[in-house]
Structure 1
Amino acid sequence: MTWFILIALLGIGLTLILTEILFVPGTTIIGIFGLLVSAGGVYYGFVSFDTGTAWAILTVTLLLNFSALVYSFRSGVWNKFALTDTMKSRSFDNRLEGLEIGIEGIAVSDIKPIGKAEFLDKIYEVKSDSGFIRVGTKLIITKLEHNTIIVKS
């Protein structure tokens, strides 16, 4: 019965440590609980058996736990949780497509200093280079920079 309790404690501890490493990394609660159960099994070994057997139990436990740790790193389980893709697109990348400096348009809202204007039958958000511009005023594009349309009247 003593061996059964010892093997159960060490097995449960190792299972919890493997669960922490392989299935729920980062939670640490399961891993710490697994280490405590393993430590309890080693303590039980020192209390229940002679010193030589207890040290052998400690050595085997450390070897198994360390082997589980090495296996988890070599198995590539961390690659499943790591972010490997990056986003290369941005919003409004082609927003200024077809527009050029010098194109004329009309303000469809008051521009103070940001408002709406119509160029080439499409409405764009624009920024005024010359302050307040009233609705209906003819505009000219003066700059196109960083997805911003700079206009003047």
Structure 2
Amino acid sequence: MELLVWTRLPLPMDWLTIALLLLFGLLFLVAEVIFIPGTTVVGLIGFALLAAGIWFGYRDLGAGTGHILLVASLAATGILVYIGLRPRNISRVALNDVNNSHVRDVRLPDVLPGTVGRTLSALRPAGTVLFEDDRREVTTRGEYVAAGTEVRVLRIEQNRIVVESVA
């Protein structure tokens, strides 16, 4: 009885399969660059499909056709990246607003000890006080202060303003 041994030879791919690999690779790159930039996974899948299509083109269709596929894929990818990175296309997905605000530095307090203000809410023991035109969150040493009462700043503790009732 004879034992048949099957050897696995790589099956040549037809031109349609290679063309579909290249097409889907380009479509994934289009999706990455134009529609959903920054996801990276879609772009990596597109790059892998393009690389596989070019590799199979060299392997199964010959070096001449492989060179043509490589140059055509590089040209199409270059055009795609150029179109996707034009300022008009970037402005649709990029953040163009400028934030000119600033954060108040607690090391340089604008409300000094001894400053007098009026409570806007009841301090139980924390609440809001109006110092001239500035609203600030303050706290007391534990006592309750009714809304509308005048208070004086005792001290600044890191990021807390400690006040007491003036009356």
- TM-score range for the pair, normalised by the shorter chain length: 0.5 to 0.7
1:85 match: secondary structure = coil
Q: Deviations over 1:54-76 (max 9, x none)?
A: 11211111111111111110163
**Does residue 1:34 correspond to 2:34, yes or no?**
no
**Measured at CA, do residues 45 and 135 of structure 1 come closer, stay the same or move farther in structure 2, by a change above 3 Å?**
closer
**Measured at CA, do residues 57 and 151 of structure 1 come closer, stay the same or move farther in structure 2, by a change above 3 Å?**
same
Give me the identity figure in percent. 23
The residue aligned with 2:23 is: 11
Amino acid across the alignment from 2:69: I
Q: Provide the alpha-carbon RMSD of the alignment.
A: 3.9
**Does residue 1:73 correspond to 2:85, yes or no?**
yes
**Measured at CA, do residues 110 and 76 of structure 1 come closer, stay the same or move farther in structure 2, by a change above 3 Å?**
closer
2:85 match: secondary structure = helix
Question: Which of 82, 97, 110 lines up with 1:85 in the alignment?
Answer: 97
Tell me by how many angstroms 1:2 deviates. 3.2
The residue aligned with 1:97 is: none
What runs of 5+ residues in structure 2 fail to find an aligned partner? 1-12, 103-114, 131-135, 154-160
TM-score after normalising by structure 1: 0.60
TM-score after normalising by structure 2: 0.56
**Measured at CA, do residues 109 and 61 of structure 1 come closer, stay the same or move farther in structure 2, by a change above 3 Å?**
closer
**Measured at CA, do residues 140 and 86 of structure 1 come closer, stay the same or move farther in structure 2, by a change above 3 Å?**
same
Following the alignment from structure 2 to structure 1, what is the Cα–Cα distance between the partners of residues 79 and 118? 72
When the two structures are aligned, how many residues end up with a matched partner?
A: 129
